Structure 1
Amino acid sequence: MSPNSLHSSFKLNGVTYTNDTLLEKAKYLTDKSNDFEAEIGRFLIAWLNNEAVVKVKTSGSTGKPKTIYLSKEVMKASALATGLFFNLKPTQSALLCLPVSYIAGKMMLVRAMVLGLEIDTIIPKIDLDINSKHYDFVAMIPSQVEKNLDVLNQFSILIIGGGTVSHALKKELQSIETSVFETYGMTETITHIAIKPINKIDYKPYFKTLPNITISQDNRNCLVIKAPQLNKETIITNDVVNLYSETEFEWLGRIDNVINSGGLKLFPEKIEAKLEPFIKERFFIAAQKNQIYGEVAILIVESKTNQLNTSIFKSLNKSEIPKAVYNIPNFVETSSGKIQRIKSLELL
């Protein structure tokens, strides 16, 4: 099968398509006033053309958004790896509830076309309008999962990406029947390259890579990914990790966010994980210049007033305790709901 051909079992919103009929449908969707449907149409046209690559934009949550080009063959290989890991079969059902303007939404369509899944689409928003139908496979961002806990049992497999899954949310997910997985990946790796089960097993802090993907660390202790079927070049990330094996790792945080405080390296994401059970508002940890220590940790809370009790810091080491607390009424976000830390800090 060529990278832009369809599995014979592929269905979109209940209709079976061939390459020709899907192209007609895609052209029709691009004329729709609904941005989500128009974006689906534009992507399908790009997928069905004779070009070897697809243009994709990054989210911009860890830097400036940029446009990159991904090979269709590589996107197909990623879809097949996901299908193999989760044992997805032709005619099984999937739901697309993510924007197709980013890689996560695009790959849901590619998985359906390559694996022969029957995929339905709904408007991608936080509070989803999900019907009563059962689906075998769905991908969501954490905020969608939080808002739609009451309907998650309609899915057999749920993968969560696009942000860290909070301690509170993990606790909520223990009581549902759906098999839930946290994913690790980025646009450059064609979405996820590693998976971590959240419920139904004894929880472990580390991710396990998909088949034929191996990992190592560079001299910064950042993750290095070798995935020949996804990228001919070795991918060097800015994610600091603990390495358990060449296929298992624990994510500690972004090296861009590391706070160097008096010779100690503080990982904001690890401090945030300790504080999550005690702060109901959205928040993040950042660095502030300090004459004695070079940098110290500060706490930024999405709130109009500061009503935090300092007893919430009892779970932190002395060096991790924020030396100041600041409030911002509304954080700056990406279109997918991720907090843009740098731009939010500029609001102070």
Structure 2
Amino acid sequence: MKKVIYKNIHNYFKFNGVHLNGEELRVAAYYFIKEGDEHEKALGEFLLDWFDDNWYIDLQTSGTTGVPKIIRKSKQALVNSALATGDFFGLKPGDTALCCLPVQFIAGKMMLVRSFILGLEIDIVPPSSTPLTLLNKKYDFVAMVPMQVQNSFHDLHKVNQLIVGGAKMDSSLEQKLVGLKTKVYETYGMTETITHIAAKRVGETAFSILPNVRISQDDNECLVIDAPLVSEERLFTNDLVQMINENQFILLGRIDNVVNSGGVKLIPEKIEEKLSNSISSRFFVGGIPDAVLGEKLVLVIESNNKDFDDTIFHLLEKYEKPKALFFVPEFETTESGKIKRKAILKSLV
């Protein structure tokens, strides 16, 4: 049995400006559950779960590619993940952090765990699309989803290091972030890997893995992850990658999104990247059944306005040009904000 250290709270840890130990956090948890709003109730429930006598904690997956499910992870694995993040990003005791993500999901939980273990001074704010607007403080370390980054662009000077995950960052947003004084990183990971196991600075093409992680590819050229300190099992992903070396990879797209149109395999994410600067609304490309081609490539745009200039297709290769166009008033998404591509495409057939 590994030494249990998850109940040890770093002496430098602060919660909303106040030093609290484990017992004081448990007291705060009861208050949050009884008197708090929705995000505080979730915070209180997590704190009670973290400081109970169980060796594990149950986590909910996002349900991006299927039905959301509950997976069980050891608390020590979450500690190990926090330590790896601290090493990779050079976090030190006394650094300030902001949690503006829902604590119901792993990304929000891990901001708290990193603070407990690394001795960060963390502030908790209700999840919103503009979490920095009313804050007059500078933070050393913050995690956001792309929508929050997009809506907080003019406030990012308040952040030293920003990690962005939960959904793919489109190239137009990434280009806006390149050159900022704020160090912005896109992260790669999932609930099963306890958030990120790799990250890349915006403007770079390849992800670099965190400490104690090994990567390889399976026969379909999808990423395989060996991260024994956060997952007892080898993880076979559905993410197509190009391996640069044993520590770096380029993410190409998901194999379950690949469209086989007339024998030509198309990666939607690469097509979307080419169109990202030309379509202002949310959009994606995917495949629907076709009697001749097997699958037909289509472009789906979130909009009530059906005006569209298809001259932008000159940016694409011949086989990459969509055969049909659909407008959807509002995209169906997971609780964490990821677009449910398969469900939307199914509704169009």
Q: TM-score range, shorter-chain basis?
A: over 0.9
**2:164 aligns to what?**
160
> 1:33 Cα shift?
4.0
Alpha-carbon shift at residue 290 of structure 1 (Å):
1.9
8 Å CA contact 1:259–1:297 kept in 2: the answer is yes
With the length of structure 2 as denominator, give the TM-score of the two structures. 0.96
Question: Structure 2 regions of 5+ residues with no counterpart?
Answer: none
Unpaired runs of at least 5, structure 1? none
Q: Secondary structure at the match of 1:109?
A: helix
Is contact 2:146–2:164 with CA below 8 Å preserved after alignment?
yes
Q: How does 1:158-197 map to 2 (within 5 A)?
A: 158-197=162-201
* Matching of residues 106-185 of structure 1 within 5 Å: 106-128=109-131, 129-185=133-189
How much has 1:171 moved relative to structure 2? Answer: 1.6
**Are 1:258 and 2:261 an aligned pair?**
no
TM-score where L is the length of structure 1: 0.96
Post-superposition, which runs of at least 4 consecutive aligned residues in structure 1 deviate over 6 A? none
Aligned pairs for 1:333-344 (under 5 A) are 333-344=333-344
Deviates more, 1:334-343 or 1:11-20: 334-343
**C-alpha contact (below 8 Å) 1:4/1:72 kept by paired residues:** no
Q: 5 Å matches for 1:30-69? A: 30-69=33-72
Kindly tell me the number of residue pairs found equivalent between the two proteins: 344
Q: Is the 8 A contact 2:284 2:299 kept in 1?
A: yes
Q: CA deviation at 1:175?
A: 4.1
1:174: Cα distance to partner?
Answer: 2.2
Identity of aligned residues (%): 46
Any idea what the Cα deviations from partners look like across 1:4-53, whole Å, max 9, x if unmatched?
32111111101111111111111111113411011011001100111111
Alignment of 1:222-233 (within 5 A): 222-233=222-233
Does 2:70 correspond to 1:29? no
Task: Output the amino acid matched with 1:188.
Answer: E
Contact 1:259 1:287 in 2 (8 A): yes
Q: Does 1:283 align with 2:287?
A: no
Whether contact under 8 Å (1:94, 1:138) holds in the other structure is yes
SS of 1:240 mapped into structure 2: strand
**Contact persistence 2:288–2:345 (CA under 8 A):** no
- AA aligned to 1:46 is D
Q: CA RMSD in A?
A: 1.2
Aligned-partner residue type, residue 113 of structure 1: F
